[in-house]
């Protein structure tokens, strides 16, 4: 993972724990309204197209279209905080992944804008005789197509940031989608959009139909249709959930991940049971119990993704910390030799620490012999020591050949003078 960059030498604008809290909390709200928007857009367009002979579906599609344009605005506003939080909390992993898929990642901006314009055209030309159904369907289908593509781009990029070991093999969005877990995670997300949009439709038409007994048949049918979507999509989600977990890279898995999955499955089973009672046993299940259950499931899934992210980045973060510490140490050594005039006063000790300490210590063997050995050997023959360092060769069977170092002849002389002038005692000093 040598491609991992060093950490940014800038202070965060808030404590890391607070940024992660903002990321998790606001993402939970954001993803709900994203699901409402995506699922609602599909129901509005496709039910209108496929059920033209039933006036119920025409009205239902119109009502759903009205909610979609509101939900998309709320989703965008709620999405700002988690996007900023993840870019700050995981900067050194978030931005390299962005760079790899840059053209597609940046395309999200204009694609989302085009999708929103398409939804407004679809919605506000509904009753106009100037625009044909084909015209309206075109814009509705275009919005749905974009809503299929944008989550794919987003998930590919967010997934890529978790696996720096893959970065060297990824050159574009098209190769990023084959990183483990992208496609199963995408299917899991899209199906969740239909399940949660079904719950939204159930609650929306339930509340909207209150106090309207003359129109009770429509609102009851609309609410039940939303429940059916929620039921079938939740059952299908159990399949996608298993596929998503089985394709999760081992580095991202943990006991906590498994615990959250089990909890989500248990509450998904409870939700299915409640929906079955409501739909087919005609039981009077409290609306708020169903809403609370779906909120708990989504909360478990959001926490699950957080632990997956933390697990996957555990080792890369250690590498990041080590590389940052090494860089800071090198920078400190450089600054110790720097003068305001722009000149550097390189010392023999500085060069020795920079190039030699990986293999040599003053008074003990590492890879090569201790420097006390060399000092004793060359203490009266400075030129031979300089010549050997400049052109290394094997002269002792007990040690490997020293590789030639990227230093100049004058720098070698500084190192030799530093070593030969050391007062070395029994403690290496």
pLDDT tens digits along 225-275: 999 999 999 999 989 998 999 999 999 999 999 999 999 999 999 999 999
The span from the CA of 65 to the CA of 33, in Å, is 14
Angle, helix 16-50 to helix 55-89, in steps of 10 degrees: 160
Angle, helix 133-160 to helix 182-208, in steps of 10 degrees: 130
315, 364: one domain: no
26, 97: one domain: yes
237, 187: one domain: yes
330 has pLDDT over 80? no
177, 263: one domain: yes
| Cα Rg of the chain (Å, integer) | 32
Under DSSP, the state recorded for 231 is: H
106 has pLDDT over 60? yes
232, 189: one domain: yes
172 has pLDDT over 90? no
Q: Which of 85-94, 96-105, 326-335 has the lowest mean pLDDT?
A: 326-335
Two tokens, residue 376: 């004793």
Which range marks the domain in which residue 88 is found?
Answer: 16-320
Q: What is the mean pLDDT of residues 53-70?
A: 91
> Which residue among 320, 354, 377 closes a domain?
320
If one counts the domains in the chain, the total is: 2
Two tokens, residue 396: 């002792």
344 has pLDDT over 70? no
Residue 384: inside a domain: yes
243, 371: one domain: no
Q: What is the mean pLDDT of residues 341-364?
A: 80
Handedness of CA 228, 230, 233, 238 (dihedral sign): negative
25, 118: one domain: yes
CATH number, residue 205: 1.20.1630
CATH number, residue 400: 1.10.760.10
- The predicted pLDDT at position 96 comes to 92
87 has pLDDT over 90? yes
Q: What is the mean pLDDT of residues 340-351?
A: 72
- The predicted pLDDT at position 424 comes to 59
> Which residue among 289, 320, 351 closes a domain?
320
299, 229: one domain: yes
Backbone angles phi, psi at 7, to 5 degrees: -75, 150
426 has pLDDT over 50? no
**When comparing pLDDT for 346 and 49, which is higher?**
49
Backbone angles phi, psi at 232, to 5 degrees: -65, -40
71, 31: one domain: yes
Residue 425: inside a domain: no
Q: Count CB neighbours of 125 within 10 A.
A: 17
258, 356: one domain: no
Residue 4: inside a domain: no
Residue 327: inside a domain: no
The pLDDT tens digits of the residues spanning 110-147 come to 999 999 999 999 999 998 889 999 999 999 999 999 99
> Which residue among 291, 320, 349 closes a domain?
320
Residue 276: inside a domain: yes
407, 373: one domain: yes
314, 413: one domain: no
- The predicted pLDDT at position 284 comes to 87
Residue 428: inside a domain: no
Residue 427: inside a domain: no
Cβ–Cβ < 8 Å for 268, 293 = no
- The predicted pLDDT at position 427 comes to 40
Residue 2: inside a domain: no
């Amino acid at each position: 993972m040598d491609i991992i960059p060093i950490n940014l030498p800038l202070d965060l604008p808030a404590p890391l724990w607070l940024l992660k809290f903002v990321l998790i909390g606001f993402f939970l709200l954001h993803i709900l309204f994203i699901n409402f928007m995506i699922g609602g857009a599909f129901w509005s367009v496709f039910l209108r197209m496929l059920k033209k002979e039933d006036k119920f579906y025409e009205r239902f599609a119109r009502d759903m279209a009205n909610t979609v344009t509101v939900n998309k605005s709320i989703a965008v506003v709620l999405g700002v905080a988690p996007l900023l939080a993840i870019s700050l909390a995981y900067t050194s992993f978030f931005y390299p992944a962005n760079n790899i898929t840059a053209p597609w990642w940046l395309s999200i901006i204009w694609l989302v804008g085009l999708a929103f314009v398409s939804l407004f055209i679809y919605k506000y030309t509904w009753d106009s005789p100037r625009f044909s159904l084909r015209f309206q369907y075109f814009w509705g289908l275009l919005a749905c197509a974009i809503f299929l593509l944008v989550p794919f781009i987003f998930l590919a990029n967010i997934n890529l940031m978790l696996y720096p070991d893959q970065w060297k093999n990824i050159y574009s969005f098209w190769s990023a989608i084959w990183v483990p877990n992208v496609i199963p995670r995408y299917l899991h997300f899209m199906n969740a959009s239909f399940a949660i949009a079904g719950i939204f439709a159930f609650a929306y038409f339930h509340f909207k139909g209150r106090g309207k007994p003359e129109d009770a048949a429509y609102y009851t049918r609309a609410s039940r249709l939303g429940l059916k979507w929620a039921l079938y999509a939740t059952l299908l989600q159990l399949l996608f959930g298993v596929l998503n977990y089985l394709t999760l890279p081992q580095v991202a898995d943990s006991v906590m991940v498994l615990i959250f999955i089990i909890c989500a499955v248990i509450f998904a089973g409870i939700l299915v049971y409640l929906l079955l009672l409501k739909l087919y046993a005609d039981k009077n299940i409290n609306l708020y119990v169903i809403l609370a259950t779906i909120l708990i499931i989504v909360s478990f899934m959001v926490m699950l993704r957080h632990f997956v992210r933390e697990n996957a980045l555990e080792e890369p973060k250690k590498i990041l910390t080590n590389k940052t510490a090494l860089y800071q140490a090198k920078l400190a050594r450089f600054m110790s030799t720097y003068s305001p005039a722009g000149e550097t006063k390189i010392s023999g000790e500085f060069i020795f620490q920079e190039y030699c300490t990986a293999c040599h210590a003053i008074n003990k063997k590492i890879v090569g012999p201790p420097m006390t050995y060399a000092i004793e050997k060359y203490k009266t023959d400075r030129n031979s020591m300089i010549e050997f360092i400049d052109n290394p060769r094997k002269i002792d069977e007990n040690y490997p050949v020293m590789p030639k170092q990227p230093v100049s002849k004058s720098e070698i002389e500084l190192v030799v003078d530093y070593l030969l002038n050391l007062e070395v005692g029994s403690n290496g000093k």
